[in-house]
Amino acid sequence: MTEGLQVSELWGQFKRDAKVGFQFYRRDYESGAAAEQRKSEGFLRRVHEIVWAILSKLSPARRVLLLIGTVLLLFPSGGFQFHKGANDIEFTTLNFQFWGGALLFILLMLEIADRVVMKRDLEIARDIQSWLLPAVPPVIPGLAIAFATRPANTVAGDYYDAFARKTTSPSEDGFLLAVADVAGKSIPAALLMATFQASLKTLSATPCTLLELIVAMNRYACCNSQGGLRFTTAFVAEFGPVTRVLRYVNAGHNHPILWRSSGQIERLSAGGLPLGIQPDAPYAAAEVVLASGDWLVIFTDGLVEAENQRAEAYGEDRLVGVLESGVAGTPELLLQRMIAEVNTFVGTTPQHDDITCMLIKAE
């Protein structure tokens, strides 16, 4: 029943579930009233609003079932009399609480059935999404790469990839490196992530400059962004093994950290707006040369914005500290250490955003 969990672990899990569930229903209540109005409302009014928020998540038939079950639970047990014969009277007790509990149990079973079906569909979606992401990094001359992602829910809106690509330069072929983060979480973000992956693979098959690729992707993203509401931040770079030049465009993404072997830190910020906001948005490309011993850390905001129980963010300073202490190792070992450091910092606090990180070491 407990899968080997201790009592303290079960209690911690219950508190996390209760907190997440309360915040889920509370959002509907808070969106329906102004902040000043919520402050002036009493406790009973808040309970009333949250109850209605819960009822709105149920179908009409299940709302009726919940209402009847709750009323029966509150109704006192009683009885009635009837005559079987001229002198025979029988008294029968009707247990309203039992039938109220039975109705609520039936409602629970119906909701669990919906959850199981949805969970099965989400697991299938997770498997399909995993096929879109590379399982192992490609072999790139001069670079060692490691990457990892961890969704906040079953499916994620983060994307990473690394693959060979024909470039406009006749002297060498390049390798495309990409990390992206779709606004939002779960299924909507996962669907747009798949769209981003398809557009990137399709458009990059055509020989063009990196800047032309980003401009074309932005136009395509604007057709599926609901007027800019579903935008995508992305860092896309192209590495030439012969020249060791990394050309990049940062489309509103977290600035990757370039740690030089000398200890100097640079931030790769050149680019423009996130993809999907303005069809004619201007973008700029920049380039850096990766020397032996340099490290490049590309990450999504879920990594640095991970919070602990005191609502403190992990932050980029801690990320840089872990990087500086592990530059002598391999990207795989350093990535494992980074994830372990984040897990230790967060503790039992629920993960609120997808976490993705790509580590690159120049050899």
Span 202-235, pLDDT tens digits: 998 888 889 999 999 999 888 877 776 789 999 9
Residue ranges in 60-165 assigned as alpha helix (H): 60-74, 96-132
- In three-state secondary structure terms, 298 is strand
Q: Which residues, including other chains, have CB under 8 Å from residue 123's CB and lie 6 or more apart?
A: 154
Report field, pTM of the whole predicted structure over 0.85: no
More confident residue, 10 or 260: 260
Q: Residue 292 carries which side chain, given as an amino acid letter?
A: S
d(CA 285, CA 245): 13
Structure confidence at residue 77 as a pLDDT band (50, 70, 90): low
Phi-psi bin for 315: left (phi > 0), alpha (psi -120 to 50), beta? left
Mind listing the pLDDT tens digit for each residue in 280-300?
Answer: 999 999 999 999 999 999 999
Task: Give the containing element (helix H, strand E) for 89.
Answer: strand 89-94
More confident residue, 301 or 155: 301
